[in-house]
A and B are shown apart, each in its own frame.
Chain A
């Protein structure tokens, strides 16, 4: 039997929960959340460390606590949460096919759809590390789930490749669980993780961080027995003669996240090569009218607080679309220029911008005393100063609507020193 919902949300992680709650609050009467796991909360359930919520709740929570606040809110409403439910496909017409053990295959028609599937970790296969293929190589997030939720210790002598936040957090976790963490190895000349995590996860436990270095060989037949690390030059190529062997039985990979967009692509949503997520408008709508995207499926975030805020915007817009449909409106494009890795939103409609247009991006290197310059049709319309900008921390600028011309926007970095 086909069921109709005003808003259907795919994924009950932080993005999906916030979007669903906001959609219900702002007028969508029938809201459903489809979650493939047996519980809501998504990645937060395995992030048992604290530091979540400083921006949104103004207090420091652990991941499960942050999730529980939203799950409790959800259960005070009539929003339907379908757990153990795997979405198989979404059509352009917003018809969803899903499957779960209770109902079998189900079809859902939705007035609006919110994509909130989050992201996946980059696996070993995408790195091309030479060597054997023994047991003991995990992505950091997989190890985190084993240790924190399933109660399985993944190894005794651990080396971490990549210094993203999950890798740093796992370094501390493994030490607290009784393992020895021999090193954290980072390809870039700087860490991709938050500074707080470098201090509290590596420095606190005297774990060495090798920058501009990478694994050039993994050794071991059945289980990892050790790795060879080498220094890399400025083109990130290993420098011969700098090899160093380090014994370990486990390698954790913290080498980046990739938005999980198979469903988005099947729905015909236009993708952005840079964010690896859908191209979105100012209200998080994708190129398919009535399909919205928010959270890590749209851009990889550092802080869950910003996921929540982005998802609130998506949920509100989805409810509005379900109620009123959408009138065609002219839009302009936003471009990431010099110094920026990407920009989001990629498109915006003047009619739908309230007082400000919030623009998010990441810089491509470490900069000091930099200006963020916003140009429209070649002319500068706004400029923002930053003492410091790093790739590991997402930037946000707020452009007042009255400065916008309705023509394309280009954002670039100017001046400053590159470190």
Chain B
């Protein structure tokens, strides 16, 4: 028996999955599909930062371009420790390609300097 808290809406149904994968406790269909994907292959977006040179601040925020399997999260963020980006950067620039062969990239989520339009 596994227990899930549904995050689809504020109601937060507690949904139970028995050993045969049968679900109980879901208030609606959306809860069932949420738990099914959580059981099959839970994925998460990862957001973090990398070192940044040549800008006013020393960190650049990044995210994965798509959700990645939850179980590789810690290994994926560890890769960011070795990365330094030089300003200027544009939001959406690829910072690390094909993270752990997932086909997903880490991309910048902020533009720096001139490109941010902070004109001063």
**A interface residue numbers (CB < 8 A to B):** 38-40, 45, 48-50, 60, 62, 64-65, 68, 71-72, 74-75, 81, 83-84, 147-151, 176-177, 194-196, 198-200, 203-204, 387-388, 390, 393
Cβ of B30 < 8 Å from any Cβ of A? no
Inter-chain contact B59/A150, CB cutoff 8 Å = yes
Contact segment of B17-25, B95-103, B109-117: B109-117
Cβ of B119 < 8 Å from any Cβ of A? yes
Q: In the complex, what distance in Å separates the CA atom of A397 from the CA atom of B70?
A: 37
A78 → B minimal CB distance (Å)? 12
Q: In the complex, what distance in Å separates the CA atom of A151 from the CA atom of B19?
A: 45
Inter-chain contact A68/B47, CB cutoff 8 Å = no
Cβ of B83 < 8 Å from any Cβ of A? no
Q: Which one of A39, A40, A60, A388 lies within 8 Å of B10 (CB-CB)?
A: A388
Main secondary structure of the interface of B (DSSP, over half): loop
Inter-chain contact B58/A150, CB cutoff 8 Å = yes
A195 cross-chain contacts in B, Cβ below 8 A? 5, 7, 10, 12
Q: Which one of B5, B70, B116 lies within 8 Å of A39 (CB-CB)?
A: B116
Inter-chain contact B118/A71, CB cutoff 8 Å = yes
Inter-chain contact A62/B5, CB cutoff 8 Å = no
**B interface residue numbers (CB < 8 A to A):** 5, 7, 10-12, 44-49, 51, 56-59, 61, 63, 70, 73-74, 77, 91, 109-111, 116-120
Name the residue on B nearest A169 (C-beta). B47
B53 → A minimal CB distance (Å)? 11
B107 → A minimal CB distance (Å)? 10
Inter-chain contact A83/B63, CB cutoff 8 Å = no
Inter-chain contact A148/B61, CB cutoff 8 Å = yes
A198 cross-chain contacts in B, Cβ below 8 A? 5
Known A149-B59, A151-B58, A388-B10; judge A68-B49 contact (CB<8 A).
Answer: no
Inter-chain contact B63/A62, CB cutoff 8 Å = yes
B56 cross-chain contacts in A, Cβ below 8 A? 38-39
Inter-chain contact B10/A149, CB cutoff 8 Å = no
B119 cross-chain contacts in A, Cβ below 8 A? 75, 81
Extra 8 A-B pairs, beta carbons < 8 Å, given A39-B56, A68-B110: A48-B49, A48-B61, A64-B91, A68-B111, A149-B57, A151-B58, A194-B10, A200-B44
Known A62-B63, A65-B109, A198-B5; judge A49-B47 contact (CB<8 A).
Answer: yes
Inter-chain contact B11/A83, CB cutoff 8 Å = no
Name the residue on A nearest B80 (C-beta). A176
Q: In the complex, what distance in Å separates the CA atom of A155 from the CA atom of B19?
A: 41
Known A50-B63, A195-B12; judge A72-B117 contact (CB<8 A).
Answer: yes
A54 → B minimal CB distance (Å)? 12
